[in-house]
Amino acid sequence: METETTSINGSVTIGTSGQKAELKRVLKTRDLVIFGMVFMAPVSAQTLFGSLAQVSQGHAVLSYIVGLVAMIFTAYSYGKMAEVFPIAGSTYSYTSRAIHPYVGFIAGWSMLLDYVLIPILLYKLSAIYAMELLPSIPLWLMLLLFVVPVTVFNCIGTQVASRVNIFMTIIMVLSIVLFVGFAIKALLHGVGVGSVFSMQGIYHAQTFTWHSLIGGASIAVLSFLGFDAVTTMAEDSSVSGKMVGKAAVLACVISAVLYVAQVYFATLTFPNFTAFQSPDTAFFEITTLVGGSGLATLLALIISLSGISTALAGQAAASRLLYGMGRERVLPKFFAHLHPKHKTPAYSILFMAATGYIGAVLIDLSVLFLIIVFGALIGFLCVNLSVFIEYYIKRQERSFTAFVPYVLFPLAGLVVCAYIMWGMDRIGHIVGGSWLVLGIIYLAIMSKGFTKKVEMFKEDSF
């Protein structure tokens, strides 16, 4: 059985018979904020815009605002849980300790769907935009150009990955400023609605329905999923759990401002959301319209290159979730292996590289959009509930000042996330529900009919 101890400097050590097994703590608050932003990708609004505009019936801005409301409450909940449990595993670890190991396993299993699919989505989107520039290169080869360097950087360690993240964050933010500048110039010259300030960029009475807005919000949530990845890196961080939580909230808010700016000006310059040649590359059409082929080529190149840093963060977060569950033997101990030199979960990283590549080759982009949010929302529901149970029920934080952080915020996040999940497309419910059923069956087998605690599985069980 594994034991857990906390050292004076806050590092968590979990091992068998006192054997030290910990991740290398090198990340600072700035690194965590940037990590979250890179995972969310400031330019992700560009890659999602076509599908988002069509599903929301032209209400991309409102979709992002609804998504932000859900995520800001949930990011706060993640921060509160990171304060008391600053360890790898994030959603799985928090729910296991606050509610029950079985519920924690289901939460972690649900997030696996999210974390496995996110790198697939990132690889595919980046490859598609790169193929706009180099159409002669086949998809299978283009994907390798993204998967291989991402895997190498992650195996070397988070400090190297952090430097790549900082560089790519600067590039992505500059590309957004460049697009907004060209869009404003085009609008002032009569392109699109012909005005920089117009409600047409936010609301259309003729096409607005709550169903389409919630459907759009379920896609917009994709852009925000990186904030929870900040807490998966808690054990790689040298700062307190409280600062990890603040980094998650800050990354979420900053990214939201960038998302809204992009989709607002994209909507104004190209208001007819039914006229895209392809929703997958709609933003390429818009940048061509406002700045010509030169701007379109430059931004497509940045989107493609940003896929390396974004997938870098996605693969790192997914490997930490696998590591956290493998270390506690709810997944095979294969996933808990640490590289002897770099102290990174090498086998989990390689597993994510293989599944990311195969999935990107085989799974259609539209299907990924529809199912990827389901797992994340289940995890978010569990973490919001965990805050209420951990603080209000277990720790009995029931004063007047405790009502907002430990009751109002987590329950508000729970309700909004549940509402978005309810409004998702049916295929998301079917695939996500099927994944949950598989997880429950797996849990039932490994716990011998729910009679054995999941954190006490023996190594020879696998």
Does residue 327 surpass a pLDDT of 70? yes
* pTM tops 0.85, yes or no: no
Structural domain containing residue 289: 24-461
Distance CA 133, CA 432 (A): 35
- pLDDT (0 to 100) of residue 81: 87
In a domain, 12, yes or no: no
- pLDDT for the residue numbered 314: 75
Q: Is there a domain that residue 4 lies in?
A: no
Confidence at 286, pLDDT banded by 50, 70, 90:
very high
Q: What is the pLDDT of residues 354-389, one digit of tens each?
A: 998 999 998 887 778 777 788 888 989 999 999 999
What CA–CA distance (Å, rounded) separates 152 from 145? 12
The pLDDT tens digits of the residues spanning 176-213 come to 999 999 999 999 999 999 999 999 999 988 999 998 99
pLDDT of 9: 35
Q: How far apart are CA 293 and CA 205, in angstroms?
A: 34
Looking at the structure of the chain, the number of domains it has is 1
Q: How far is CA 427 from CA 57, 364, 365, 367, 368, in A?
A: 20, 13, 14, 8, 10
Q: Does residue 15 fall inside a structural domain?
A: no
Question: 242 or 98: which carries more pLDDT confidence?
Answer: 98
Nearest by Cα to 235 from 410, 93, 36 = 93
The secondary structure of the chain in percent helix, strand, coil, rounded to multiples of 5, reads 75, 5, 25
CA distance 66 to 43: 19
For residue 167, the Cα-to-chain-centroid distance in whole angstroms is: 20
Token pair, residue 97, equals 């300790």
User: DSSP secondary structure string, 368-435?
Assistant: HHHHHHHHHHHHHHHHHHHHIIIIIIIS---STTTHIIIIIHHHHHHHHHHHHHHTS-HHHHHHHHHH
Q: Provide the pLDDT for residue 18.
A: 40
Predicted confidence band at 431 (pLDDT cuts at 50, 70, 90)? confident
* Local confidence band at 235 (pLDDT 50, 70, 90 cut-offs): low
Maximum C-alpha span of the chain: 71
User: Residue 336: what pLDDT?
Assistant: 87
| Ranges of H-type helices in 278-345 | 282-327
- List C-alpha distances in Å: 204 to 59, 72, 178, 446: 7, 26, 27, 52
pLDDT of residue 25: 53
SS3 category, 197: coil
**pLDDT tens per residue across span 240-275:** 556 777 788 888 889 999 999 999 999 999 999 988
Distance in angstroms (rounded) separating the CA atoms of residues 283 and 140? 23
Element (H, E) at 128: helix 101-133
Q: Is 11 within the bounds of a domain?
A: no
Flag whether 156 is in a domain. yes
According to the model, what pLDDT value does residue 233 have?
59
Residue 17 domain flag: no
Q: Which residue has the higher pLDDT, 208 or 158?
A: 208
Q: What is the DSSP letter of 27?
A: B
β-pair partners for 16: 2
For residues 193 and 198, what is the distance between their CA atoms, to the nearest angstrom? 8
Mean pLDDT score, 438-452: 87
User: The domain that contains 390 carries what CATH number?
Assistant: 1.20.1740.10
> Do 60 and 67 form a contact (C-beta atoms < 8 A)?
no
Q: Evaluate if residue 238 carries a pLDDT over 50.
A: yes
The residue with greater pLDDT, 461 or 335, is 335
Q: Within a domain: residue 286?
A: yes
Q: Please indicate whether residue 303 or residue 148 has the higher confidence score (pLDDT).
A: 148
Confidence of residue 461 (pLDDT cuts 50, 70, 90): very low
Average pLDDT over the chain, rounded to whole? 82
